Structure 1
Amino acid sequence: MAFDLKNESDVKEYVEKLGIEYRFGCYSEKKPDVCHLLGDYLESIKKDFEKAGKVFRSNCDDYGYAKSCLKFGHYSFLGKGKASSVDKGDAKQAFQYYTKGCELNDADCCLHSGLIMISKTKPAIIERDITKGMEALTKSCKLNNGTACFYLSGMYISGVYKNDDAKKTTTPDPSEFAVQKDMKKAFDFATKACELDNIYACANLSQMYMKGDGIERNEKKAEQFKKKALEMQEALKKQQAELKFQQGLGNA
């Protein structure tokens, strides 16, 4: 049957049939990718976050579908759809699901689990483990998550102290660092992050080339990455302006 998507009744019928197809594909055919689509359908179309959360959790636990682990991790962190018994969310439960998703090679899950492990939040979500956090971020970067590559670059630019309460001096003892300052590694991670369109990494690369940090000084390269960062900034501004315009039309 052909649907006229300009006709309101046809659209409603199409949406209902889509839900039926997703439920059949998930519950009868037990297809993990369709279960994830069902979760997205319940979330975005039906606005039933509680049911969506249950689908994402089950799809992660029962079928090991990494993208559903990520979704339920977000639900847990935010306390969305009663995914948590804690009103403001359950960060420890979120970490569990991010970790599981990372083990299943989801780059975003590795990013979130890594950031939680290196986090300085008090009270801590989990016991801080910079080494394992770096491993998760490195895996995320290898899986082409530009944000993870950027964070790693930043950590190598400044170094990371083992103890946050350590007295910062101009000539700190290397043994005080969990991550030693290493501008060559910082440059390498910034390069990959910029290739993955992380605007901040491109700006940092420009500065590195200008100063000769981690790479031989090259003003031409510095200008090249500065230009790329500015072009990305303009594209982002345009995208945000279009989004605001579309939201305005929706409220008109």
Structure 2
Amino acid sequence: MNIILLLIVLAINLSASDFKKYEIECANNLSMGCRERAYLALEINRSYDEAEKYFLRACELKDAKSCQLLGYMYGSSNANKQDSKKRFDFFKKACQLGNAESCTVIGSIYSSKKHSNSTKKNMIKVKIEDLIQATKYYEKACKLGDQRGCGRFGATYLLGYGIKNDQQKAIKIFKDTCKKTSYYGCSLYISLTGHNMKYRDLYISEERILRKGCELNVSNACNDLGFLSLEVYQDYSKAEKYFRQACQLQNQESCKMLGFMYESNYTGKKDFKKSFYYFNRACELDNGYACQYTGLMYWSGKSIKKDWTKSAQLYQKSCDLEYSSGCRSLGSSYYLGEGVEINRRKGIELYKQACTKGEHYGCLKYIGFATQQ
């Protein structure tokens, strides 16, 4: 009992020391100190008002993350500070300061704006000017590295919303986001294959070179042949063959692509058990996205017996592999006690970790639940 009391006293003293340290840093106009003090306000004092004060100061000092977190705070019902104008303004400022996911949020706000149609009173529509603005912000988000923004930027090219329709550009964007572990990008990429069929002749020499490499068991050559089979020939069987060969050569991307192919409604090869097998294999080869997705399969019981303990273990591996969504999923496991002993404080820390790495939903959960430990 004495040891427990000692640990509590030490924790209190440490927190008090941190409070003082970050208050001094903030007073000296160090934005990181202001932001860290805001975190303490949420996590220790459980005060949105106090956190708001320090986030505002950090944002004034051009800390993009603090501006972004204010945007989330003004959109959160839990914070009891909902204000759509402030939400927009702070996300916009964060975007201007280079915060990629904030640019995606601003794009989403523009693309979901509805306006009354004076000719049809019961109809609402999105103005073309708003779609143009949305596209501009999605493009900026994508250039800054936000894969959610890239997926939406690709969709604007595909649908011709706020930009000239260009399916070839859309597919290229979806392919790039897929390679960077975007579920949305991979799903759309697989469903829109064959877009380069009219340019087959241009790919003949490339295909010959890749075939020679694949015959020599160069995994990347087999992997690239899989993508070529989808893009140029719209041949799912060939793609399956080459991705499988590359996967056997321990190419994690090919194993992941097989997981998507067997899950897709468009390939004619839908097989959830095979999908699980290949996502799991990609995880064994240290693909962070595949570990998180396999964990979600165990969590939901999709194609495999539900096992929350296993899902938490896979989320942990995904997080250890620096995949931010894996950290957020692990946070939910701890916050809700699913597959691990409930530990809300640890859950909040993992939400913050995901948020710090740029994960949109991690930020939403951190701001929404940080005071509810």
TM-score band by shorter chain is 0.7 to 0.9
Aligned position for 2:320: none
CA gap of 1:243–1:91, structure 2 versus 1, over 3 A, is: closer
Q: Flag structure 2 segments of 5+ consecutive residues without an equivalent.
A: 117-123, 197-230, 244-253, 261-274, 280-289, 298-310, 316-328, 344-373
CA contact (8 A) 1:52 1:81 kept: no
Aligned position for 1:202: 186
Aligned position for 1:21: 21
Determine the C-alpha separation between the residues in 1 that align with 2:41 and 2:334.
Answer: 27
2:83 to 77, 86, 90: 90
2:294 to 230, 234, 249: 234
CA gap of 1:221–1:132, structure 2 versus 1, over 3 A, is: farther
CA contact (8 A) 1:206 1:221 kept: no
Using structure 1 for the length normalisation, give the TM-score: 0.75
Larger radius of gyration: 2
Q: Flag structure 1 segments of 5+ consecutive residues without an equivalent.
A: 84-88, 161-177
RMSD: 3.0
Provide Cα deviations, 1:166-221, integer angstroms capped at 9, x if missing partner: xxxxxxxxxxxx3333211111221222233211212222233xx31353235355
Determine the C-alpha separation between the residues in 2 that align with 1:44 and 1:141.
Answer: 32
Determine the C-alpha separation between the residues in 1 that align with 2:150 and 2:69.
Answer: 22
Deviation of residue 26 (structure 1)?
0.8
CA gap of 1:13–1:227, structure 2 versus 1, over 3 A, is: farther
Q: Which moved more, 1:115-124 or 1:130-139?
A: 115-124
CA gap of 1:9–1:66, structure 2 versus 1, over 3 A, is: same
Aligned position for 1:54: 53
CA contact (8 A) 2:113 2:130 kept: no
Using structure 2 for the length normalisation, give the TM-score: 0.53
Matched, 1:190 2:174: yes
- SS of residue paired to 2:145: coil
Moved over 6 A (4+): none
Determine the C-alpha separation between the residues in 2 that align with 1:94 and 1:246.
Answer: 26
Letter in 2 for 1:8: I
Matched, 1:212 2:212: no
CA gap of 1:246–1:64, structure 2 versus 1, over 3 A, is: closer
CA contact (8 A) 1:78 1:90 kept: no
Deviation of residue 66 (structure 1)?
0.8
The count of aligned residue pairs is 221
CA contact (8 A) 1:72 1:94 kept: yes
Letter in 2 for 1:247: L
Determine the C-alpha separation between the residues in 2 that align with 1:242 and 1:18.
Answer: 24
Sequence identity, in percent? 20
CA contact (8 A) 1:110 1:140 kept: yes
Determine the C-alpha separation between the residues in 1 that align with 2:176 and 2:190.
Answer: 14
